[in-house]
Amino acid sequence: MTPCRSSSPERTSAPRLPSPPQRSPRVRSMQWWSPPLPVVLMAVVLVAAGCSSSAGTGAPGSGGDVQSTTGVAYESTGTGPMVKPTIPQTPSVPSDFGQLQCSPGAPLKTADPAPTKRSCTRVFHLTASAFEQKIANFPVQDVMVWGYNNSTPGPTLISYAGERVQIVLTDNLPVPTTVHPHGLHQPNTADGVAGISQPDPVMPGQTHTYPSFVPGHTGTFAYHSHTDGPVQELRGLDGAWIVLPRAEHSSVHVNDDYMMTLQQFNPEAVMSGMPVANKLVNGTLDVPFPGGTGDFPLSTVNGRTGDASGGPITIHKGDVVRIRIYNASQNSHSMHLHGHDEVLVAKNGHAVPPVRETTQDVAPGDFFTIDFKADNPGNWIFHCHFPHHTANAKESGYNGAPVGMTRIFHYAGSAPVPVQYFTYQGQSSMPAP
């Protein structure tokens, strides 16, 4: 087979980039938006599918070099001038660009790509611990979860194509743990599978520095505990990891880019039949399966049910909006957007020929990227289509509204979403026991 031309920025001269805009410029046409689809897209995908892998091109480092060309760099599939990628946001969850450690020089905290002519490593510090997080308004609120840096899902890690990355994990849990980069091309010594690739997990109170490596491709990926998965992953030790291109063709550029991690939780108090007053706070987590039904009572996007999301996601008419989905839960979820075509543009770090979908079934561990054109003002829900997953312990929200695994897109200028939606079923305070 014919080796692919590497998309690594270390092999190509850096494109000239415009200054970053306050908001991403609106793009009049997307490849999937201006039929017929450019032939070039399919050609690139087909050529890439026949590529063979090749040796890495990244800078030497402690972790071995795993940069490969087996992945289709997303930025290589478009047309038009090169622009800076839109920085993704994760509603309710912080983003973490880590620390850039370049030699020589002090570590930098920066959202910009590492200089290609310096030897730099982007280092992410993750601390696993147990803490309370408000994951719903009802029938529980604050639940004891496990997560990274006091958040479940953990902070969304953001790095750039060709950068060397590294995780430093501190275990503040009462049990041993590890962290696994999911979907990246890490060396085996950085794989973080307890008892196999990492025979001895990180012990409580200890810090472990994993070998650095260069991820093999851009796209949406994740990190999660790979120790005692039925307990640790389902209590919340998951997070997204996005590897951005340093630049992308304007034809694949989006205005708004949102990361959404799907999780399901089983607070013990929800299922135990305790009086409502006792269910409202301080639920502990009982995993893996509740009540023998296989149904998890609370389904969330970014660690919150729709009613506890704090408000809608505001978008603007004319925008192209990207949603990156990571399913960190035990079950598949059929993610459906009202009022718009959702266009599948990438799966698991690889661009795919755009496909218009109504509902996208996302399996556990999958990453799907969908785009939509904001051309239909109003308040639109994006939700799992399993009815139990759009309720909190089978209870609906304000006036029967879907909650659970739901987020609302609100067009600027449209009527506001009723504030009662973001409360306990329309009541301004918790009901008396």
User: Phi then psi for 31, rounded to 5 degrees?
Assistant: -60, -40
Q: CA-CA distances (angstroms) from residue 354 to 35, 153, 183, 227? A: 11, 28, 21, 36
- Tell me which residues in 249-288 interact with Cu ion (CB under 5 A): none
The site that binds Cu ion (CB under 5 A) totals a number of residues, namely 4
User: At its nearest, how many Å lie between Cu ion and the CB of residue 386?
Assistant: 4
CA angle 284/287/130 to nearest 5° reads 45
- Phi–psi pair at 124, nearest 5 degrees: -110, 125
Rg (CA), the chain: 22
Query: Using CB under 5 A, which of the segments 53-61, 78-86, 136-144, 388-396 binds Cu ion?
Result: 388-396
Closer to Cu ion by Cβ: residue 126 or 384: 384
Kindly report the number of other CB atoms within 10 A of residue 409's CB atom.
Answer: 25
Distance of closest approach, residue 297 Cβ to Cu ion, in angstroms: 13
Stretch that binds Cu ion, among 144-152, 274-282, 288-296, 389-397 (CB under 5 A): 389-397
CB of residue 405 vs Cu ion: minimum separation in angstroms? Answer: 5
Minimum Å gap between C-beta 376 and Cu ion is: 24
Residue pair 153/93 in contact by the 8 Å Cβ criterion: yes
Q: How far is the CB of 77 from Cu ion (least distance, A)?
A: 30
Provide, rounded to whole angstroms, the least separation between the CB of residue 258 and Cu ion. 18
Contact 427, 394 (CB under 8 A): no
164 contacts Cu ion (rule: CB under 5 A): no
Minimum Å distance from CB 134 to Cu ion?
21
Residue 195 and residue 191: Cα distance in Å, rounded? 11
Other CB atoms within 10 Å distance of the CB of residue 276: 13
In the complex with Cu ion, the residue whose CB is nearer, 149 or 330, is: 330
CB of 278 to Cu ion, least distance (A): 28
Q: Looking at beta carbons only, is 8 or 264 nearer to Cu ion? A: 264
Considering only 226, 324, 389, 407, the residue that binds Cu ion (CB under 5 A) is: 389
Pick the closer one to Cu ion by CB: 317 or 336.
Answer: 336
Residue 410: CB atoms within 10 Å: 18
Nearer to Cu ion, 134 or 336 (CB): 336
Name which of 131 and 386 has its Cβ closer to Cu ion: 386
Q: Counting contacts by CB under 5 A, is residue 383 touching Cu ion?
A: no
How many other CB atoms are found less than 10 A from the CB of residue 98? 24
Closest distance to Cu ion from the beta carbon of 332 (Å): 7
Residue nearest to Cu ion (CB): 384
Find tokens 């032939």 and name the residue: 39
Q: In this structure, what token pair is assigned to residue 227?
A: 């120790």
Of the residues 126, 179, 325, 384, which one makes contact with Cu ion according to CB under 5 A: 384
x/- site string to Cu ion, residues 320 to 359, per CB under 5 A? Answer: -------------x--------------------------
Minimum distance of Cu ion from residue 178's CB (angstroms):
27
- Mark the segment that binds Cu ion (CB under 5 A) among 108-116, 253-261, 272-280, 380-388: 380-388
Asked if 386 is part of the footprint of Cu ion (rule: CB under 5 A), the reply reads yes
- What is the smallest separation between the CB atom of 337 and Cu ion, expressed in angstroms? 14
Contacts with Cu ion by CB under 5 A lie at: 333, 384, 386, 389
